[in-house]
Structure 1
């Protein structure tokens, strides 16, 4: 059988190259590449014996655990389609995803049995339940589940699967900031190149040209990297795959709540080199733990702090450099639909924006105005950041949203990311952030992320969101919803004076609202809709 740009094929090539090398660490569970591969083969055989076949959808409804990645690989091996289920979802979101995703099987932590029992009628095709043990004692018979390890027992550890292909796909459900989850359909080959660097992140040889190149891209000196976010999120899942396909050792954060001190203990114990976070939401508690525990841990092995999936402010990047003077900071930006679309490592060409990328045949800015033909932007114009080439197939079971997001311009298919972007004078692209959140104040366009970045540089501000509130004179005025640090009193004048040191005067918040905890969607992303309603209500306003 031929080898393809299929994630199962690629992983097996790595496992054959370095079978005895440590692949995965999660709490007390440790697996070599050979052991992870064999375990995935066993689960793949069990799923196949239960009637799961190529193209069938399998839900992964778990916290971070070794079984999550093993089950994911098992799906890939039999060409089934893994579906990430957000464990933070409550009944309405679960009802939607169980109905929308057409799952035939669900691999879940045992504690989720009551939640599954409540919504399982929405999933008419769902017949197979496999329960991963945890600290709970929920009744397996409530959904007819079988224990995960009992299911694997006695199953064949060998590979005797049918030939796969690069067009096999998986579905990444993304909550976004509004609305119900939507399933992004990613072919393996496309996500490998769009989100995983084509296997070239750790090799001087660069991205693979043919699938057989994968083994030659395996790191001779493996790194130890930790994925701190839940695997149910795209940024963490991609990072996990990047590490495994490089032959590196992947460490998972096995704690179910994010505790900075607990994370640094793992980093010290496992002698970790690279830390992958999701923006300031993780950076803040990590930095606080370092400040509160000077010299507690030996963190001398750390040389990279990377972020993806959320804003990683300049202030927090600089704070990490104070603790790790030689650290290499990487700040990737992209989306569930776009993969990794750029990276800022201190080379931003403008003070504003998330970062810059080179304009090329697969990265551009599209002007998409109602009633006008879609076109490519000219120098100086601001439009929507777009990607072509290695992009998803569309949204599962949502042709309307697919048609709005995946468009054709001059005979070529493009993905509209939703991020506002501008073509600079040198032809490069500056990416600003969600265009839908852009504030138009007196004709000036203000991107919330830029103002939030300035606010977070204030020592008394723990976190902040920025929204536009209706204004009779300016159309909209900039309003900041702020979570202050404990014991800190903030006033409008103090915050404004601070911001003027970082951003232009027209971008400075005209009002601030203090809140105990910033609102977030079940996906963990900022909930701008709730934040705006809070500001409009006048709650927490400070003069």
Structure 2
């Protein structure tokens, strides 16, 4: 493709401009020059172990990377970003690992990814040790001293010692926009899947770099900034803002206590390091942030942008954040591992989004684009810079990445309507759709209505088995003490067809979400079924 940029080369060019300035700030600060040297040393370690020689070409199927794989099992830390960037410099495809996985879950992921190298924290050494005998081959092990009190595993290399012993001249990038990145989905509604991206498409797509190489450098000189990704780097929302920031010339800030969302640590970092933009994941991050700012008000005059993705941030939360952080713009975006960010929420707190880039709505058969105002419920799809496919799965690849006319689209499974004004009404993932008496109910649509009712601070909608309906709609609702189920039902009936109104409302003290801000469907379904 014309004017494509690869990640490693662009990062090095920006680093040459700002060599002595902060590149990443955590418990220690690394300059751009230091990050360049350290990631070259890591690339040299990988090459010395025979990695990076395999490269994709025109014959590589879309469900294969054509490269060696490097897994990263770390909390947010400079070493996480180094591992990913160093992999790019060695032409090795990096992939993310959820640090909350059990032995069985990690074994599943590593068997699927087949890593040639694993970069992991000492904290996770016992987990890694338990999984290694279950793998078809033993990867090269690089153990990072992350504060965990576990000894170096047999045969593993100490990460820092390996870097010190390597020659950075042996790690000069020979990378290409055609090299691959492997991003595993969270597995919220199924088993995790490895999504394969070309690095050139990552740059122009999720990382938001437009134009030529020289234009990207000039933009980095002008824009700069300081970004704080609150989500874990093991999820696309966190890694995306970190690398998107880096490739825009920004310093990346990592707050203390990265193993969980620590609102006090985040606000301290925002103030101390004069952060200009940050990202969060819904009310699981937004509510503790509000509580911390109410408890210990701080002036944050440099903060200009707060990006929310991955989960809902209620309108009440947004309004309070605007009061506490005057001058901050809050942007609500919709995206996925298979699309990057592809829609921005319209004002008013509804499930209406304005398309970003090449987002479209396809018909139910996935054979044509819907026209604005069409009555049909379709599939939200993304064109332009999208992944090649799912690792090792040609069937899922062909089902998700479809060609309509002469354009290729990613259709990750989200239902939507294309409104008459060109806006998109997001209805939710097909995997969370409830089939009740032959009618489809989209959980997100019902949740949006519930959250807009007086006295409702949060809501989650799931289906449970029903002898009469097959499935029935159940709402878990976090409400004020004076709100009754009758009021909730009446409020829903004003805005929803009868079959969409929940058959039961379960009052909860708090809607339980995972530490990454995503919905805890396992908890919700167990509670709805009466098993918890």
With normalisation by structure 2, the TM-score equals: 0.88
**Secondary structure of the structure 2 residue equivalent to 1:220:** helix
Choose from 125, 132, 135 the match for 1:113: 125
Alignment partner, residue 58 of structure 2: none
Correspondences of 1:19-168 after superposition (within 5 Å): 19-26=19-26, 28-54=27-53, 55-140=67-152, 142-158=153-169, 161=172, 163-168=174-179
Alignment partner, residue 191 of structure 2: 180
For structure 1, the 5+ residue unaligned runs are 200-206
Note the aligned Cα RMSD (angstroms): 2.9
The CA deviation at 1:286 is: 1.0
The CA deviation at 1:65 is: 0.5
Distance (whole Å) between structure 1 residues aligned to residue 106 and residue 94 of structure 2: 16
Alignment partner, residue 288 of structure 1: 291
1:239 equivalent to 2:241? Answer yes
Deviates more, 1:181-190 or 1:115-124: 115-124
Change (3 A) 1:352 1:257: closer
Structure 1 residues 498-517: Cα deviation after superposition (integer angstroms, max 9, x where no partner): 7679x557555442224466
**Secondary structure of the structure 2 residue equivalent to 1:375:** coil
Alignment partner, residue 462 of structure 2: 467
The CA deviation at 1:138 is: 1.1
- The question of whether the paired residues in 1 share the 8 Å contact of 2:284 and 2:513 is answered with no
Choose from 424, 428, 451 the match for 1:429: 424
- The question of whether the paired residues in 1 share the 8 Å contact of 2:189 and 2:432 is answered with no
**Secondary structure of the structure 2 residue equivalent to 1:195:** coil
The CA deviation at 1:341 is: 0.5
Change (3 A) 1:134 1:459: farther
Alignment partner, residue 279 of structure 1: 282
For structure 2, the 5+ residue unaligned runs are 54-66
Distance (whole Å) between structure 1 residues aligned to residue 14 and residue 454 of structure 2: 46
Choose from 213, 216, 219 the match for 1:217: 219
Distance (whole Å) between structure 2 residues aligned to residue 222 and residue 71 of structure 1: 23
Deviates more, 1:405-414 or 1:72-81: 405-414
Alignment partner, residue 10 of structure 1: 10
Distance (whole Å) between structure 2 residues aligned to residue 73 and residue 98 of structure 1: 20
Distance (whole Å) between structure 1 residues aligned to residue 401 and residue 467 of structure 2: 37
The CA deviation at 1:282 is: 0.8
1:356 equivalent to 2:367? Answer no
The CA deviation at 1:130 is: 0.9
**Secondary structure of the structure 2 residue equivalent to 1:107:** strand
The count of aligned residue pairs is 514
Change (3 A) 1:178 1:39: same
**Secondary structure of the structure 1 residue equivalent to 2:380:** strand
The CA deviation at 1:137 is: 2.1
- The question of whether the paired residues in 1 share the 8 Å contact of 2:189 and 2:431 is answered with no
